[in-house]
Amino acid sequence: MTGAADVAEVADLTSRMVAIDSVNPDLVPGAAGESEMAAFVSDRLRDAGLEVMVLEPVPGRPSVVGIARGRGGGRSLMLNAHLDTVGVAGMTDPHTPVVDGDRLYGRGAYDPKGSLAACMLAAARCRADDLRGDVIVAAVADEEYASLGTRTVLEHVRADYAIVAEQTGLGQVCVAHKGFAWMKVTTRGRAAHGSRADLGVDAIAHMGHVLTELGDLGERLSDRRHPLLGPATVHASLIAGGQELSSYPAGCTLELERRTLPGESRARVEDELRQLVDRCRLRLPDFEATVETSLWRTPFESSAESPIVAAVRRAAEARTGTRPEPFGKAGWMDSALLADAGTPAVVFGPGGDGAHALVEWVDLRDVAACADIYHEVARAICR
């Protein structure tokens, strides 16, 4: 392992970014967004000698791409981390970074500004390595909501391999995560005065049958398991219907979330829900319903033997003395978008705690280790 990242440098860089409010405005209307963070990151990457471009498909939602350009003929590596954070309601001084021993506290310290600092420091060190391949930092907007940033970056830049710098605690390397579908079922009844059962059709009562079928589907999904991720799941998230107490409800809408496993296609998941509704239609007179998908995100899986996974595990073992074990995370990440674009990816980052919580911190020694590990992986992949 060449060199070693300085913990004081890591603390300073991460602190400067924690001090910048980059709450995602799609999560918190009117929030700051990524502009100030993007300006800070782009300036630091330019100062380090990287080629920088700022991509802003939506005003106020920029992403930054910094490239430590190789001399040519080598494989490229993308280090992907996001600029945005979740909200800060209930936190005390969320953008005042506090260092206590090896811990840095503040919103975004763990998710993922420490990881982003490690990516930036690693790429800067690659400038002196005379590598053949490019090392690319993708500091992306909107990961916490709709992944606008990574989707935009992939329209302009591709890499042979990628590390998504989310939190794994150094001792593990994430090679799989679930996908999800946000879906909607709308039942249609017939409005009528509450005294006229002969005229009304109750859309809410009909939705009750859908909910019963949904519970049965959940039971069946519990038998559909992945060795690292456990079972596929489905749950009812939001429901609304009716217009007033004295009327039969003309409509009811159920929004649900289906968490998917590698190998489950969008077509399969949508057909599953349509069949569920069809069973209700066969049983109930006057049953009418529609089904739609509002958002689909594919699951992710990478072979534990792939070159990028192997390179991360070797570099981590050389730096820490322990080879990280492959594992799966339930939550969705931008790694799926990279894999869908043909870029083999792995998820690896520092330890800490409090992602999306009221108290959030990152382990600064882990961030320094990640900077060294990312650097060593780049040297192995891009040589």
Residue 340 lies in a domain: yes
Query: What does the pLDDT profile of the chain (383 residues) look like in tens digits?
Result: 455 789 999 999 999 999 999 999 999 999 999 999 999 999 999 999 999 999 999 999 999 999 999 999 999 999 999 999 999 999 999 999 999 999 999 999 999 999 999 999 999 999 999 999 999 999 999 999 999 999 999 999 999 999 999 999 999 999 999 999 999 999 999 999 999 999 999 999 999 999 999 999 999 999 999 999 999 999 999 999 999 999 999 999 999 999 999 999 999 999 999 999 999 999 998 999 999 999 999 999 999 889 999 999 999 999 999 999 999 998 999 999 999 999 999 999 999 999 999 999 999 999 999 999 999 999 999 99
For residues 188 and 152, membership in a common domain is answered with: no
For residues 63 and 202, membership in a common domain is answered with: no
366 Cβ neighbours under 8 A, 6+ residues apart:
114, 169, 170, 350, 351, 352
Distance of alpha carbon 186 from alpha carbon 193, whole angstroms: 21
pLDDT at 3: 59
For residues 139 and 217, membership in a common domain is answered with: no
For residues 23 and 100, membership in a common domain is answered with: yes
For residues 319 and 172, membership in a common domain is answered with: yes
Residue 219 lies in a domain: yes
pLDDT at 237: 97
Here the CATH number for the domain that contains residue 282 is 3.30.70.360
| Residue 234 structural domain | 179-297
Given 297, 312, 346, the domain boundary residue is 297
pLDDT digits (tens, 9 = 90+) for 222-266: 999 999 999 999 999 999 999 999 999 999 999 999 999 999 999
Residue 163 lies in a domain: yes
For residues 235 and 276, membership in a common domain is answered with: yes
Residue 1 lies in a domain: no
Residue 203 lies in a domain: yes
Give the number of domains in the chain. 2
pLDDT at 5: 81
Residue 2 lies in a domain: no
For residues 159 and 252, membership in a common domain is answered with: no
For residues 24 and 171, membership in a common domain is answered with: yes
Residue 50 lies in a domain: yes
Residue 109 lies in a domain: yes
